[in-house]
Amino acid sequence: MIVDAQIIAQPLSGEFEERIYDHENPWNSAKWGYIKFTESSGKEWLGQFRGESRNVKISPQLQCILVLSSDYLFKLNIHNGELEELLEHPSYRKLEVAPSGEFILADYYQIEKMTSNLKDIEIIESPIQMDFIEFLQWSDLQLEFSCKAFLNGEKEHLLILDTVKWKIELKN
């Protein structure tokens, strides 16, 4: 089982056993990202993913790993690293995993959660229209984040995503 995943710089050839995760598409970028995976046995190997690496998160509860690149959102099996699903050219910029195991995704304007597969991603309603979402920190089961008010880039807000109620609230 995979217990750790880290974005790394391009390694030396032959430094790790490598697996390539790619999808034929005429719109693919020329960029590649590299993720070092560590299994519970201590074995390390490298995943080479199409697109620039943005983030990687593991959910033991959902038994999967999400890898976010500039070109794709990859869903991998936590036991063997096999590709289960992918989403082409996602607009997501941020990726986090809730303590309960659900994945939290954000583009510039909204936050979404994934609980089972990439086809069933749900939008989480916000009390304000958001722009430039930035995840900040966890406080127990709440994710604090900031954003600008949509169409008013000067006003910044602090909000909280409650991962029990799956509700976004203004912090102050």
pLDDT in tens, 7-38: 999 999 889 999 999 999 999 999 999 999 99
Q: State the CB neighbour count (10 A cutoff) for residue 165.
A: 10
Burial, 14: exposed, middle or buried (Cβ in 10 Å; 0-12, 13-18, 19+)?
exposed
Give CA–CA dist 129/170, Å, rounded. Answer: 12
The mean pLDDT of 41-47, rounded to a whole number, is 97
**In this model, does residue 114 exceed pLDDT 90?**
yes
149 pLDDT tier (thresholds 50, 70, 90) = confident
Assign a CATH topology to domain 1-89: Thrombin, subunit H (2.40.10)
∠ CA 113-49-163 to the nearest 5 degrees? 15
130 pLDDT tier (thresholds 50, 70, 90) = very high
**In this model, does residue 133 exceed pLDDT 80?**
yes
pLDDT digits (tens, 9 = 90+) for 79-95: 999 999 999 999 999 99
Helix (H, G, I), strand (E, B) or coil at 52: coil
**In this model, does residue 65 exceed pLDDT 80?**
yes
Domain spans in the chain, listed from the N-terminal domain onward: 1-89, 91-172
pLDDT at 153: 61
